[in-house]
Chains A and B, each alone.
Chain A
Amino acid sequence: MPVESNTPSDVPSGRDLRIATRSRADNWTKPPRRIETSECITCDSCLSGCPEQFGAIFDRGLDVVIVPELCSGCPVCVLECPVDCIYVDADWTPTDDAMWSHIALTGEGIA
């Protein structure tokens, strides 16, 4: 069974499974990250930078949001953010149904 880690290059294509189960990978040890809307400038740099195998960042209305169940906690988005507004989200809350419905369309073979 493939092993997932927090390193982007080591992660197999388990995103569809995470979407189907609406849960984070068991072997992700780092907490997800979150974008602080009071500091975000909506430049989408994080979204563009988020590795494809995670695909954890979405535009949602006025917000740019990280879906915690899809975020491994890797630092790629942090490195792209010009204003340093992405924080560790140890106390994350589950993503709502409407967002999952939107996310499901981005799964393999759908989008």
Chain B
Amino acid sequence: MTAPVDREGSRRAANSRKRQSRRPSRLGLVAGATPKPDRVREEDAGFPGLLARVWRKASAAADMRAALDILLTLDGHVPAEVQEGALRTADAAALKVVAGLSADAREPAGAVADPAERTVFLGEIGLTTGGRVVVRVPSQQPLAKQHTLVAGVLRVPWTSRHLDEYRREVTRAQERLDRDAADSRRWLAEQGSEGREALLAQLTEGAQRTAPFMLYIEDRQYTNFRDTNTVVGKTLWPGHPDCVFAGLAGLPLELWSDHDALLVVGISLLIRSAGYGRIEEVNGSQLTLENVGRLLERTRRNYNGALGGEKIPTAGPDAGVDALMALATGLGAHRPEVARTVQLYREIHGALIHKVEKVAAPYGEVAAERDRQVTGRLRATLPVVGDRLAGLRLADDAGPAWLARPCGEFGTGLEAVVYEAVAATTAAFGADFAMSRGIRSLPQLVRALRAEAWDEISAWGITDFFCCVVPAQEARRHYGDSLATLADTAWAMSSRMQYNSWHFIAGNLPRTSKVLERDHFVPPTIPDIAHFSDQHHHGHVNNMVRFTIRSPHSVEVCGRPFNGFMDLRIVRADGEPYTEQEMLAAHQVAAFIARMTQQAAALAEQGEQAEVTAFDSAWHWRSVTGTPAGGAAPEPPRSRVA
């Protein structure tokens, strides 16, 4: 399949169109001919700027504990327990004795020492450019010699009592780490060389097929994200010598470091408990058995609460690898039942790309109110009946065939459904943008599936997918009060979402060699709410994607389920994060679009031309600016922030 615009004409015509810029404000101009960007990225945009602000605020805090709270939460951008979980063994012991900080509820933390006591050691607290809190403990070099710091250090006076307590704490913590490393080695030895190779292959695929991760074991960072990559991903291809998994392949276990053993066992536990997606729930933290055990136990309680009883037994305190593997296996086995019983979702803390799996409360009044608003608009604009989103369906006199027929300005009813649902969402959710993505030609997909043309589907490009983005007109205030910039921003989001559809579809296909070669992610199956997503990904930083809801849904085509086939996303550039109730309502809007897409797929299987040809660059220009595409811009694009 080629892009719908290409299907309408010759290859020459398609190439001619490609020579034209697709940026809405540059429609009619030659691509690549504009001498300068509309804006230049500021050096401290996103995460570096956040860290600099956090450090300044912490440095000005009234006392050390207040400063630490600012650092651990990155000034309210992440839960403190994520950063607490990122502390090295010695650092955690130090902060327990000098600041009364403890991640372990079973052991109450000690009180802060009397400042009148004599200082016997002057320690330090710093913030690395990776966003991690680090501590200078006795016998260590100054932090500036160990790490790349955001700025300076906070000085921390230690007393003799601190030293005594620290010695006990760090010894105990180190013994636990050593014990866990030895247990991990024992378990890995039991797997045999073939078993370990299989684990490494699984970890490699997990890193390739999920969103980036960023884990620590003591000072060592394992990441395929923004810093120097050490794990396979977009930067390091499979087999790259810089990838830790590739480096371990073929090595006898005796030559693995303790960190390597903990890494492989830790990630294996996470994958066993929920698939690759669980790895991101340790992002920004130490991948110790203690932390993984804490995560699995919290998940166990959630799952048992959802299932109503102790269906999944605990691994017990200070569990070893065998007990944790049993717990992880139990969680993985029960997760499908949990997902059918309650609404699982992920809360994402974008600053540290940390995710938390949660169980949503029942549909409440806030969700119902959003539901009523969207339902009301859809009943006014589409031939649908029903009191609530969950029951909304095509009216009997319209029938499913309406989805494939022209509807007003739209080529098909399906296009009208997508647009109206997205526009209603923007209004009802106080959003700056809402959007929904999908595949342009269901008939082409049906043909390819019937031919089992997996390689062909893998070869389709991003323009074979669409995303309809509808901004609120008031959102222009974030973009220099320029409708042209707002249109460019909407199109940038649309293009990225086309990529996401492209990126997920291969994850639903049989694992042929071409499919495996093709860059893709495992498609998402549960919704998420993201806080402060505007820290890392350039598109998020530059387009101010701060608070979001994402609701993916599966659609079955020719009997094959396609997870993440479509989704609905809602974005706010500022203000308040979205709530769980809003996520539940958004999930119902997305489910409505998915049901309509499912019906359109059925039509396509019957030979109807249920396609989506709208929502290209020119459409976004017209819909945002209200002026014809390729004409004079209402005003030139401007920098993003007014």
Contact = CB atoms under 8 A, between A and B. Distances in A.
A39 B234 contact: no
Contacts, number: 105
B223 to A, nearest CB: 9
B462 A61 contact: no
Contact of A43 (B23, B45, B240, B495): B495
A61 B227 contact: yes
A87 B36 CA distance: 7
B538 A87 contact: no
Given A40-B539, A62-B226, A82-B462, A105 B40 contact: no
Counting chain A CB atoms within 10 Å of each CB, which of B19, B37, B226 scores highest? B37
Interface residues of A, number: 32
B36 A41 contact: no
Interface in B531-579: 536-539, 542
Contact of A80 (B18, B39, B228): B18
A81 B420 CA distance: 28
Interface stretch (B26-34, B426-434, B468-476, B585-593): B26-34
B496 A78 contact: no
A56 to B, nearest CB: 15
A38 interface: yes
B225 interface: yes
Nearest to B41: A38
B599 to A, nearest CB: 29
B229 interface: yes
A42 B538 contact: yes
A38 B226 contact: no
Given A38-B37, A41-B496, A79 B542 contact: no
Contact of A38 (B31, B34, B40): B40
Interface string A20-44: 0000000000000100111111111
A41 B37 contact: no
B35 A88 contact: yes
B455 interface: no
Nearest to A82: B495
B26 A84 contact: yes
B288 interface: no
Given A62-B226, A79-B18, A105-B241, A84 B23 contact: yes
B492 interface: yes
Contacts of B175: none
A51 interface: no
A38 B252 CA distance: 45
Contact of B31 (A39, A62, A84): A84
B491 interface: yes
B387 to A, nearest CB: 39
Contacts of B617: 82
A78 B495 contact: no
A86 B41 contact: no
Counting chain A CB atoms within 10 Å of each CB, which of B31, B34, B229, B461 scores highest? B31
Interface string B1-34: 0000000000000010011011100100001101
A88 B22 contact: no
Interface in A66-93: 75, 78-88
B226 A61 contact: yes
Nearest to B39: A38
Contact of B461 (A45, A81, A111): A45
Nearest to B23: A84
A45 B462 CA distance: 8
Given A79-B19, A82-B462, A87-B34, A39 B537 contact: no
A85 B237 CA distance: 25
A75 B33 CA distance: 10
A41 B240 contact: no
A41 to B, nearest CB: 4
B35 A41 contact: no
A79 B32 CA distance: 8
21 contacts: A37-B41, A39-B39, A39-B492, A39-B542, A40-B538, A41-B499, A43-B495, A44-B499, A45-B499, A59-B234, A61-B235, A62-B226, A63-B538, A75-B32, A81-B31, A83-B22, A83-B23, A84-B22, A84-B26, A85-B37, A87-B35
Given A82-B498, A83-B492, 15 more contacts: A38-B37, A38-B41, A39-B37, A39-B542, A42-B496, A43-B462, A44-B234, A62-B536, A62-B538, A78-B32, A79-B31, A79-B32, A84-B32, A86-B32, A87-B35
Interface of B: 15, 18-19, 21-23, 26, 31-32, 34-41, 45, 225-229, 234-235, 237, 240-242, 461-463, 488, 491-492, 495-496, 498-499, 519, 536-539, 542, 617
